């Protein structure tokens, strides 16, 4: 379980959840270096936000059976989740190398959730911007000595963006759409196409988990059809993919305000107001709030369904769980957070009891009294990568005891 110092670290990390990436050195001597550094920093933030969004979607959608079609409408696509499987040696982009651990984990989540990505360019039909009517200096660019270089760069950027879209779609079983203003037609096409699919499974003969990329290929014995399917997967060890070796808490991105509940893991929750305490005693506060605080106890009973229990040499079972409770005000501002993570050892007798009533976990949290509070609770299996979350809204002045179950 985590120490107070580790909890403080997680609290600090939560405040910067959308910018988990690397810090860039400031090149103060050269203005062009500053501009380049700012551009790289923005790209890092975009990639981090994109990966976090994919993690949230994948964990939520994994609770529903069958194929899911993700229609991603955007003006830019900063990351490819899988290498280009069409090449003899599948390549990885620069951004993939920089975020390789996170990319592999998110890719595995998307594979398990059966998500097919359909990138849709929000820019619509694109003409040659070099001679556009809204170009502030069309003659300078079209007739100047650098015209051909400008045109080349524009064409290269456009090609790279579309190649990213095609690779992302092809390797997840989707389709890319660009150079079209018919967004409505595209959405109807994707919806109709996604209603017809087959689910195929197989057991690989190569059982070595070396984190390498394994290509898959589906062929028909007869007929000429264009097949859309996932081109490969990462042969990732479950412990590496689950987040044990991760530098950040894998549950925190799933605890954001307003997210839908996730049902990969099932648990019962009992919320009890245990008394009123002064705000100065709120050691788990994320922000300063004035006035009295109400002390709450959260009792979890986590079902063994979808939990990955490791068999230990002594005959006991071990579950690796992460537990979090976050309190928000009505505007979505985080007020307080409590949580811990680590192994839970189950003896044979405890295992039999857990089969009946679940694994019992406990957390406590102080929140402002006499106010409406949004509570976000969550459990994460660090071994399998499965998650369960449940949100509720309470009025603290009247909450004596509330018993809740997940849907």
Q: Any long-range contacts for 355-360 (C-beta under 8 Å, 24+ apart)?
A: 355/304, 357/301, 358/267, 358/268, 358/300, 358/301, 358/302, 358/303, 358/304, 359/300, 359/301, 359/302, 359/304, 359/307, 359/319, 359/321, 360/299, 360/300, 360/301, 360/302
Q: Which helix (H) or strand (E) holds 41?
A: helix 31-61
Q: Which residues does residue 318 pair with via DSSP β-bridges, in sequence order? A: 310, 345
Q: Which residues does residue 293 pair with via DSSP β-bridges, in sequence order? A: 277, 368
| Phi and psi angles of residue 405, each rounded to the nearest 5 degrees, phi first | -125, 150
Tokens of 175: 């389709």
Among 17, 40, 36, 14, CA closest to 27:
36
Among 269, 251, 270, CA closest to 259:
251
pLDDT digits (tens), the chain, 407 positions: 444 444 444 444 443 333 333 333 333 344 444 444 455 566 677 777 888 888 888 888 877 888 888 888 887 777 766 666 666 655 555 555 556 667 777 777 788 788 888 888 887 777 665 555 555 555 444 555 566 676 677 777 777 778 888 888 888 888 889 888 888 888 888 888 878 888 888 888 888 877 777 888 888 888 888 888 888 887 775 544 444 334 457 888 888 888 888 888 999 999 988 865 655 444 577 777 777 888 899 999 999 988 989 999 999 999 999 999 999 988 888 899 998 888 999 999 999 999 999 999 999 988 888 888 999 999 999 888 888 999 999 888 644 444 444 43
Q: Could you give all domains of the chain from N- to C-terminal order, each with its CATH number?
A: 24-242 (no CATH), 252-405 (2.70.50)
Question: What is the distance between the alpha carbons of residues 180 and 122, in angstroms, rounded to a whole number?
Answer: 9
Please state, as a whole number, how many other Cβ atoms lie within 10 Å of the Cβ of residue 237.
14
Q: Which helix (H) or strand (E) holds 97?
A: helix 94-98
197, 203, 204, 207 alpha-carbon torsion, rounded to 10°: 140
How deeply is 339 buried, as exposed, middle or buried, from its count of CB atoms within 10 A (0-12, 13-18, 19+)? buried
Q: What is the DSSP letter of 91?
A: B
SS3 (DSSP) at 202: coil
Among 275, 341, 337, 272, CA closest to 302:
341
Question: What is the distance between the alpha carbons of residues 29 and 144, in angstroms, rounded to a whole number?
Answer: 30
Tokens of 276: 């009123």
Question: What is the distance between the alpha carbons of residues 354 and 348, in angstroms, rounded to a whole number?
Answer: 10
């Amino acid at each position: 379980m985590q120490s107070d110092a580790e909890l403080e670290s997680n609290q600090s990390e939560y405040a910067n959840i959308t910018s988990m990436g690397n810090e860039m050195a400031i090149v103060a001597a050269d203005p062009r270096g500053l501009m380049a550094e700012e551009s790289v920093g923005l790209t890092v933030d975009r990639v981090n936000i994109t990966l976090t969004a994919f993690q949230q979607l994948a964990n939520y959608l994994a609770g529903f059976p069958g194929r899911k079609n993700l229609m991603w409408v955007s003006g830019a696509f900063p990351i490819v989740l899988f290498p280009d499987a069409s090449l003899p040696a599948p390549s990885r982009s620069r951004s993939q190398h920089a975020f390789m651990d996170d990319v592999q984990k998110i890719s595995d989540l998307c594979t398990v959730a059966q998500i097919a990505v359909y990138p849709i360019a929000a820019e619509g039909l694109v003409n040659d911007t070099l001679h556009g009517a809204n170009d502030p200096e069309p003659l300078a660019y079209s007739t100047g000595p650098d015209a051909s270089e400008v045109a080349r760069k524009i064409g290269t950027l456009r090609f790279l963006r579309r190649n990213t879209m095609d690779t992302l779609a092809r390797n997840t079983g989707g389709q890319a759409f660009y150079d079209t203003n018919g967004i409505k037609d595209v959405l109807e096409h994707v919806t109709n196409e996604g209603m017809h699919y087959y689910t195929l499974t197989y057991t690989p003969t190569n059982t070595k988990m070396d984190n390498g990329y394994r290509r898959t290929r589906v062929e028909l014995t007869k007929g000429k059809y264009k097949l859309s399917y996932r081109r490969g997967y990462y042969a990732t060890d479950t412990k590496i993919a689950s987040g044990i070796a991760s530098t950040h808490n894998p549950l925190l991105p799933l605890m954001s305000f307003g997210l839908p509940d996730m049902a990969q893991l099932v648990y019962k929750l009992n919320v009890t107001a245990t008394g009123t305490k002064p705000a100065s005693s709120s050691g788990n506060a994320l922000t300063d709030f004035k006035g009295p605080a109400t002390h709450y106890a959260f009792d979890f009973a986590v079902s063994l369904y979808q939990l990955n229990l490791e068999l230990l040499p002594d005959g006991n079972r071990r579950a690796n769980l992460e537990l979090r409770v976050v309190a928000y005000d009505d505007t979505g501002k985080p007020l307080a957070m409590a949580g811990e993570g680590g192994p839970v050892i189950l003896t044979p007798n405890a295992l039999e009891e857990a089969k009946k009533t679940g694994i019992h976990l406990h957390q406590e949290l102080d929140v402002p009294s006499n106010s409406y509070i949004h509570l976000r609770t969550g459990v994460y299996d660090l071994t399998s990568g499965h998650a369960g979350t449940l949100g509720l809204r309470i009025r603290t002045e009247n909450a004596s005891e509330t018993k809740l179950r997940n849907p």
